[in-house]
Chains A and B, each alone.
Chain A
Amino acid sequence: MTARPEALPTQEMTINMGPQHPSTHGVLRVILTTDGEVVTRAVPDVGYLHLGLEKIAERLNYSQFMPFTDRLDYLAGMNCNCAWAWAVEKLAKIEAPERAEYLRVIVSELNRISSHLISFGSFTADMGAFTPFLYGIREREKVNDLFEMLCGQRLTYNYARIGGVSGDAPPGFLEKTREFLDYFEPKIDEYNNLISYNKIFVQRLANVAVISAEEAVAYGLTGPNLRGSGVAFDLRKDEPYSVYPKFDFNVCVGSGERGQLGDCFDRYMVRINEMRESVKILRQAVDQIPEGPVMAKVPRVFKPPVGEVYFRAENPRGENGYYLVSDGSANPYRAKIRAGSFVTMNIFEKVTRGLLIADIVAVIGSFDIILPEIDR
């Protein structure tokens, strides 16, 4: 031993991670300032996918904006569709028939499962385990098949309508959904056996980027990221909308089971457990769904009364809120989209301080961000 490490001269270095980097889940650029392997500062630079959706919304009527919401969180298009429909219905005081509400809940929960599967798959792939990604995709294909059966689309659904849904469930859809649930539920145990409790995987996530409950609330984390910090808050339970109050399910929260409460592992585990709860909701929904129409009598172009509403729904990536201002015309005067991923990125710089470069990848994966929703 000739030179001790502390005697070596070190210099801070600035590195770009992204915008084109496989682990940033889209075109996210992170400007890293590093001291060796240790990140002293990681500043996210967002906006590469800015579509100007809020400006577009002002030029279209309420129904015409529906397909654009698919492009927000393209892994959970159904959830974004339904949230837009619920928000506009709240503004225009329209009520959708009960069967339509059930169908919305069914597609929302199916989409939550498929979105969490991608989150699970890409997160584990980021951590160096590629196989689980293929397992996640395998099951997600079955959800896509169901959606294709329902509305003809596999990714951008445009299924919800203001006042209902675009079409009733075709014959055999509910049976196929039941079959999928029977097939899918045991797979969750398979994922846990395959990767969740794998020692290397746990060590990559446990005690990394710990977020306390107070911080999570203060920084506006929502959805699984908030619940990962142990806050039992779920809009489906705490600000119930649609027919969610009719279903019995649990709110999954982090428990610090492999490390500190609020670490990357807790956020990961919340999503795995939530898939089980979605299955629970789906079983009840397909059993209880009433007969009836799926569309209220709503003209294609309608003029909501002057007013302002804020509606928020529980999406796979947290709170998807729409703040709508109506001036009484057929187009929204202002439509602000509050996206879970966008607000989540706010805490990124704070939680990544002092981590290793490899941990940055774990943090991005554990937040389960999606870029079109950040950049809108």
Chain B
Amino acid sequence: MNPLNAQAIFDTLKGKFGDSVVELQSEGCSPAYVVVAPGSIKEVARFLKDAPALSFDSLMCLSGVDYKDNFAVTYHVYSMANRHSVGLKAMLPRENPSLPSVDDVWPAANFQEREAYDLLGIVFEGSKDLRRILLPPDWEGHPLRKDYKYPESYHGIKV
């Protein structure tokens, strides 16, 4: 067991992926976030899981956040072997937010990606099964977006 701190994890990732790893966001954050370019999230995830010094085998939580100017997907990951954790964050544009799916790196991602797709409209490319999960398939809009307009009715039923 050899736990690393967020700075060490960030340095390792920066050394491996260069500009795809943007910054370490630690001000007021627990755990600290490594901000990653959305296009390379899958390679970073694969490396985090496979590199023995990191071996992040457990995806605790995957969430979508609407920051008004843009969207973000955050990944809280943990290593059972090394007992350390870190956050990953990918910032996405407000128009057509999409990024590669990580469900073949961490199978636990699938349901949570579907949830982020359902409630925030973030598209996970290459996902095994990207469908709405909590809302009905024909629901319009994504309720967790900050600019969501509540519908007046659903199939003639007042909401």
Contact = CB atoms under 8 A, between A and B. Distances in A.
Interface of A: 46-47, 50, 52, 54-55, 90, 214, 217-220, 231, 233, 238, 305-310, 312, 319, 321, 323, 325, 334, 336, 338, 342-343, 345-347, 375-376
A58 B120 CA distance: 14
Given A220-B106, A321-B60, A321-B76, 18 more contacts: A46-B134, A47-B134, A217-B58, A219-B107, A233-B80, A305-B28, A306-B28, A307-B27, A308-B28, A308-B74, A312-B61, A319-B60, A325-B65, A334-B65, A343-B108, A343-B112, A345-B111, A375-B134
Given A310-B30, A336-B61, A376-B134, A219 B108 contact: yes
B135 A310 contact: no
A307 B29 contact: yes
A351 to B, nearest CB: 12
Contacts of B33: 308
Contacts, number: 90
Contact-residue size bin, chain B (C-beta under 8 Å from the other chain): 20 to 34
A211 to B, nearest CB: 12
Nearest to A218: B107
A331 B111 CA distance: 27
B66 A334 contact: yes
A321 B61 contact: yes
B60 A220 contact: yes
Contacts of B61: 310, 312, 321, 323, 336, 338
Interface in B141-157: 143-144
A345 B29 CA distance: 29
Nearest to A220: B108
A109 B80 CA distance: 25
Nearest to B150: A55
Interface of A is mostly: mixed
Contacts of B119: 54
B57 interface: yes
Contacts of B28: 305-308
A308 B33 CA distance: 10
Contacts of B38: none
B111 A343 contact: yes
A100 B71 CA distance: 38
Contacts of A325: 65
B22 interface: no
Interface string B92-120: 00000000000000111011100100010
A234 to B, nearest CB: 12
B27 to A, nearest CB: 7
B111 A342 contact: yes
B84 to A, nearest CB: 11
B30 A217 contact: no
B63 interface: yes
A305 B143 CA distance: 26
A306 B66 CA distance: 15
A91 B159 CA distance: 34
B31 A310 contact: yes
Contacts of B111: 342-343, 345-346
Given A220-B58, A233-B80, A55 B134 contact: no
A218 B79 CA distance: 11
Contacts of A238: 83
B29 A309 contact: yes
Contacts of B143: 52, 55
A218 B63 contact: no
Given A52-B143, A309-B30, A346 B108 contact: yes
Nearest to B145: A55
Contacts of B65: 325, 334, 336
A323 B76 contact: yes
Given A219-B107, A343-B112, A231 B80 contact: yes
A347 B59 CA distance: 14
Nearest to A231: B80
A306 B57 CA distance: 30
A346 B107 CA distance: 8
Contacts of B59: 220
A306 B25 CA distance: 13
B130 interface: no
